[in-house]
Chains A and B, each alone.
Chain A
Amino acid sequence: MEIKFNDVSYKTILKNIDIKFLDGQIIGLTGSSGSGKTTLVEMIDALVLPTSGNVLIGNYKVDNKVKLKNINDLRFNVGLVFENSEEQIFNTTVYNEISFGMRYFKYKTDQIEKHVKDSLNMVGLSEDYMHKNPFNLSHGETKKLAIASVLAFNPEILILDEPVVALDNRSKKNLIKIIRALKARYNKTIIIVSQDTDFLHKVVDYVFVMADGQIVMEGTKYDVFAKEAELLNYNVKTPQLIAFSNLVLAKKGIKIGYRDEINDLIKDVYRYVK
């Protein structure tokens, strides 16, 4: 499902956003705090309506003129995982949490059970978790549960708002695996809002940089992240792997290329030294 922002503004938070998110891509949205990233993604779920312009999400149109009739259909197609996962949980068992919307919309019991099991599998949680209390889970598990809860409706678009905040290294690696699998196996469009450019660099295909409610940079991750000085100008950190490659090029005049994984970079350096 393609998403298109047509000259969208929202109060003083977003100013004339005119961008397109392509279907089946992993898209990164970065920028300093207060640049309008969260407001932008909440618009895709019609939680915030633009004050001018409109957002086209497939066949759905979000604007402030006409009230969207099939708003729930849109929300089933767009899964939004909020920054603080604990605040997204409002049931006493993992099973109830994942089946929250489905029970309300009167899905059949066997259908609900299948959806719950499938979404738990997708995020790498075992079925033993079904009857656990979500408030007793660790931070990483809570994050996975929040993702599973939105995956239950099998949305075409998945939005993750600051997914790696306060996650330990192993949970971060797990999350990267889940995101890659969701794209490769289920061909979902995934939008990741994060200030952690090292994380974004590992998973995304395309990047948007925001500052003061505007899109100031966009392009493939190598195009955008290679522009170290420009990123610094918008208070965005260059991913370490790219910063290293840039440094080698600047100091030694050696172009070792950009890599996603540290192991590949080490191999390149080793080959060159050898």
Chain B
Amino acid sequence: MLNSMAIGRYYKAESKIHDMNPFAKLICIILFVALSMISNDIKLNLTISIIVILVMGLSHVPLRLYYKTIFGMRLLIIFIIIINFLIGANYIEITLLVLRLITLVLYTSILTLTTPPSEIAYGLEQLLSPLKIIKLPVSKLALSISLALRFIPTIIDQSNRILKAQASRGIDFQNSDIKGKLVAVKSLLLPMFVLSFKRAEDLGEAMEVRLYNIDKPRTNYRVNRWRFFDTYIVVMHLAMLTVVIARMIIK
């Protein structure tokens, strides 16, 4: 079940998107989220979807990984449709909502699939660097986020192993009734907490024995240069957002 989630997994490949500066990718994500949130038009949302598909193609990541991400959240999508249907939303509104959710998740997946966690941390640090003025511990925050991202696939693998152990003792998540599923999920929580804390402790100790000091300023092994392609993509996102805002004002 949990194997279907591709969020947080990095896929190594050679592509323009992989080569982009992580800082530029994060700016694009923010602009894309804004764009997606303010566009209430179905045509515009379809255009956005086409752009997402184009970027997915440019990323050279197998489409099945994106498909797995969407397939993994099918229950959430069904839930959203049912709830909106019950509160009396019409089918255009529901389509818009679902389309928006799918494009947002896919766009975020492009970031995580094409950027290793350490690079995401670098991007976040750059993005949040202005906040250093108000004494916000930006490096610590970036490190925490990158570690959390790095642990998502590990935790998914871990829960898969626990579910397998439960199945071998008669409570199979996939093949049992709702009661069995609830028992399986309930008894998944305890070991997940215990093992996650244990792993976090192990990681902390491993970092300490390698003399990692969070208070020292960090340098980067690889210098992420800002290329023309980064400027081009950011400008494109900005232009799209400007056009949409301008259209809204004119209307």
Task: Point out residues on A near B: beta carbons under 8 Å.
Answer: 42, 45, 47, 67, 71-72, 75-76, 78-80, 82, 84, 86-92, 100-101, 104-105, 135, 149-150, 153
Residues of chain B within 8 A (CB-CB) of A150 are: 168-169
Selecting from B35-43, B136-144, B180-188, the interface stretch reads: B180-188
Determine the residue in chain B with the shortest Cβ distance to A89: B191
CA distance A88 to B194 in the complex (A): 12
Selecting from B77-85, B156-164, B202-210, the interface stretch reads: B156-164
Q: Are A100 and B172 in contact (CB under 8 A)?
A: no
CA distance A84 to B170 in the complex (A): 19
| B245: Cβ under 8 A from any A Cβ | no
Residues of chain A within 8 A (CB-CB) of B161 are: 82, 84, 87
Known: A47-B167, A75-B168, A90-B187. 8 other contacts (CB 8 A): A82-B164, A87-B158, A87-B191, A91-B190, A100-B171, A105-B170, A135-B194, A150-B169
The binding surface of chain B is classed by DSSP as helix
Residues of chain B within 8 A (CB-CB) of A90 are: 162, 165-166, 187-188, 190-191
CA distance A88 to B168 in the complex (A): 10
CA distance A86 to B167 in the complex (A): 16
| B195: Cβ under 8 A from any A Cβ | yes
Determine the residue in chain B with the shortest Cβ distance to A82: B165
What's the least CB distance linking B168 to chain A, in Å?
4
What's the least CB distance linking A106 to chain B, in Å?
11
Residues of chain B within 8 A (CB-CB) of A86 are: 191, 195
CA distance A75 to B165 in the complex (A): 11
Choose among A42, A92, A101 the residue that contacts B170 (Cβ–Cβ < 8 A).
Answer: A101
Choose among A42, A87, A101, A135 the residue that contacts B169 (Cβ–Cβ < 8 A).
Answer: A101
What's the least CB distance linking A49 to chain B, in Å?
11
CA distance A82 to B183 in the complex (A): 20
Residues of chain B within 8 A (CB-CB) of A72 are: 170, 172
Number of interface residues of B (CB under 8 A): 21
Q: Are A149 and B169 in contact (CB under 8 A)?
A: yes
Evaluate whether A101 and B165 lie within 8 angstroms (CB atoms) in the complex, with A87-B158, A90-B190, A92-B190 already known.
no
Evaluate whether A45 and B158 lie within 8 angstroms (CB atoms) in the complex, with A90-B187, A90-B188, A104-B180 already known.
no
Q: Are A71 and B168 in contact (CB under 8 A)?
A: no
Residues of chain B within 8 A (CB-CB) of A42 are: 164
CA distance A105 to B169 in the complex (A): 11
CA distance A100 to B191 in the complex (A): 14
Residues of chain B within 8 A (CB-CB) of A87 are: 158, 161-162, 165, 191, 195
Q: List B97-111 residues whose CB lies under 8 Å from chain A.
A: none
Determine the residue in chain B with the shortest Cβ distance to A87: B161
Question: What 9 A-B pairs are tightest by C-beta distance, nearest first?
Answer: A101-B170, A90-B187, A88-B165, A80-B168, A101-B169, A90-B191, A72-B170, A87-B161, A45-B168
What's the least CB distance linking A43 to chain B, in Å?
12
Residues of chain A within 8 A (CB-CB) of B191 are: 86-87, 89-90
Q: How many residue pairs, one in A and one in B, have C-beta atoms under 8 Å apart?
A: 64
Residues of chain A within 8 A (CB-CB) of B190 are: 90-92
Residues of chain B within 8 A (CB-CB) of A45 are: 167-168
Choose among B166, B170, B188 the residue that contacts A76 (Cβ–Cβ < 8 A).
Answer: B170
Residues of chain A within 8 A (CB-CB) of B167 are: 45, 47, 75
Residues of chain A within 8 A (CB-CB) of B169 are: 75, 100-101, 149-150, 153
What's the least CB distance linking A98 to chain B, in Å?
10
Determine the residue in chain A with the shortest Cβ distance to B167: A47
Q: Are A47 and B194 in contact (CB under 8 A)?
A: no
CA distance A129 to B101 in the complex (A): 50
What's the least CB distance linking A60 to chain B, in Å?
14
Determine the residue in chain A with the shortest Cβ distance to B179: A104
Determine the residue in chain A with the shortest Cβ distance to B169: A101
Q: List B183-238 residues whose CB lies under 8 Å from chain A.
A: 183, 187-188, 190-191, 194-195
Q: List B146-162 residues whose CB lies under 8 Å from chain A.
A: 158, 161-162
| B175: Cβ under 8 A from any A Cβ | yes
Evaluate whether A101 and B164 lie within 8 angstroms (CB atoms) in the complex, with A86-B195, A90-B188, A90-B190 already known.
no
Q: Are A104 and B183 in contact (CB under 8 A)?
A: yes
Q: Are B195 and A104 in contact (CB under 8 A)?
A: no
Determine the residue in chain A with the shortest Cβ distance to B198: A86
CA distance A78 to B170 in the complex (A): 10
CA distance A42 to B171 in the complex (A): 15
CA distance A87 to B169 in the complex (A): 13
What's the least CB distance linking B149 to chain A, in Å?
22
Evaluate whether A100 and B187 lie within 8 angstroms (CB atoms) in the complex, with A87-B162, A87-B195 already known.
yes
Evaluate whether A104 and B194 lie within 8 angstroms (CB atoms) in the complex, with A82-B161, A87-B158 already known.
no
What's the least CB distance linking B188 to chain A, in Å?
7
Residues of chain A within 8 A (CB-CB) of B168 are: 45, 47, 75, 78-80, 82, 150
